[in-house]
Amino acid sequence: MKEGPSIAQIASLAGDPARANMLAALISGKALTASELANEAGVTLQTASSHLGKLEAGGLIAGVKQGRHRYFRLSGGDVAEMLESMMGVAARAGHLRTRTGPSDPLIRKARVCYDHLAGEMGVRLFESLTAAGNLAARDGEVRLTRRGESFTAEFGIDLAALASQRRPLCKTCLDWSMRRHHLAGSLGAALLERLYALKWAARDKHGRAVIFSRSGEAKFAKLLAR
């Protein structure tokens, strides 16, 4: 008898084209209705409801009722990281969408991966923090150093509040477009929220892109050079 986790069911759930499109829409971290997800998948509402039931039963998404509507979101950041990694494998293997749109360069430059910064800017952030000694990465594990504790505190992040969360402080997530790692975990989420709070960047209202202002991008570059 084989032991350990079985990936067959997860692969089957994520492998259906309609469900894959729904999951890709939810990687933004936003909660969406069945109607919105049906539109993303290009299927009828009835078909979408069937797919959503399977995804929820399989533990990939969670439904939340709010008022008259029911919303769906990914069940956790680990699902988003799995999807981002799968996108990276698809890109490397040449399994690309035939249509590209005007948002593609923006998505590749900076985007939300569930609740943290991904794309070129996300990779730059992780690699700069590591090179400066604020993060220590070894054997696939990453941790915040004492120097990093000072850096993040000066940047306005409450590490004590992050430490009280049940999720890991630091994690790496393989970036599908850059094929290198960006920073996930509660620290990755806090850094992105801080960029929003400082108005260096803003979330695109219609998608996953994170758009930096000209001055915000200059300040971001200066921060990484410290």
Please state, rounded to an integer, the average pLDDT across all residues of the chain.
90
Residue 139 is predicted with a pLDDT of: 81
- List the CATH code of the domain at 8-75: 1.10.10.10
Tens digit of each residue's pLDDT (9 = 90 or more) over 15-45: 999 999 999 999 988 899 999 999 999 999 9
Per-residue pLDDT, 190: 97
Closest CA to 80 of 116, 104, 56, 50: 116
Q: What pLDDT, on the 0 to 100 scale, is given for residue 85? A: 86
Domain boundaries defined on the chain: 8-75, 80-224
Structure confidence by residue, pLDDT tens digits, 59-114: 999 998 888 889 999 998 889 889 988 888 887 787 776 554 546 889 999 999 99
Q: Cβ(200)–Cβ(212) under 8 Å?
A: yes
- pLDDT (tens digit per residue) in 129-143: 999 999 998 887 899
Q: Give the model's pLDDT for residue 206.
A: 80
Give yes or no for residue 4 having a pLDDT over 70: no
Q: What is the pLDDT of residues 142-164, one digit of tens each?
A: 999 999 999 999 999 999 999 88
Measured from the Cβ of residue 54, the count of other Cβ atoms closer than 10 Å reads 15
Q: How far apart are CA 39 and CA 80, in angstroms?
A: 20
Cα–Cα distances in angstroms (integers) from residue 39 to residues 33, 43, 46, 49, in the given order: 10, 7, 12, 12
CA atoms of 77 and 114, how far apart (whole Å): 6
Please write down the long-range contacts of 195-203, taking CB distance under 8 Å and 24 or more positions apart: 195/117, 195/220, 197/156, 201/110, 203/112
Q: At what angle do helices 45-57 and 17-26 cross, to 10 degrees?
A: 70
Inter-residue contact 40 to 21 (CB < 8 Å): yes
179 vs 46, more confident:
46
Contact 192, 117 (CB under 8 A): yes
